[in-house]
Amino acid sequence: MTGRLNSAQPYALGLYRIVVGLLFLCHGAASLFGILGGASGTDGGTVETGAWPGWYAAVIQLVGGGLVLLGLGTRIAAFVAAGSMAYAYFKVHQPMALWPMENGGEASAMFCWALVLLVFTGSGAFGLDRLFAKRTTQERKPASEPVAV
């Protein structure tokens, strides 16, 4: 049983990355474009362009979520995105109350830790990172020596 689970690990990790990236991207799209219910606290509206920190967080969510979703530069994108969520939790939510359930910071905390996991695990299966890694490895292989007759 353990062998089967271990062999499925890259696929489970790839699906996990896709879901986390999609949900993170949706948060950014909602805040920037007013879709999917809009930015939180705006009754379906958007964050003001250039407003600190909301607009910048939304851009990181949109771009970082898209990169994580595609599995392109996953570790770097997840690192930046996790940092933005740590900032959101400690600067925006935590000053209101200690626990995430009290301060509305559950999403920030969960996204932060979900993205930190991807920093350490990478993209798993289905990611563009793997596709490009295979391509560059094949390009670096020297041509086989011709057989002398």
**pLDDT tens digits, one per residue of 87-114:** 999 999 999 999 999 999 999 999 999 9
Q: Is 73 a domain residue?
A: yes
List the chain residues with pLDDT less than 50: none
Return the pLDDT at 17: 98
Helical spans, DSSP H, in the chain: 2-33, 54-70, 74-87, 100-103, 106-121, 128-140
Return the pLDDT at 147: 57
Return the pLDDT at 1: 76
Return the pLDDT at 28: 95
Return the pLDDT at 143: 58
Q: Is 101 a domain residue?
A: yes
Total domain count, the chain:
1
Q: Is 10 a domain residue?
A: no
Q: Is 7 a domain residue?
A: no
Return the pLDDT at 2: 80
Return the pLDDT at 146: 58
Q: Is 130 a domain residue?
A: no
Q: Is 133 a domain residue?
A: no
Q: Is 4 a domain residue?
A: no
Residue pair 80/60 in contact by the 8 Å Cβ criterion: yes
114-131: buried (b, 16+ CB within 10 Å) or exposed (e) per residue?
bbbebbebbbbbbbebbe
- Domain span holding position 112: 15-39+53-125
Q: Is 111 a domain residue?
A: yes
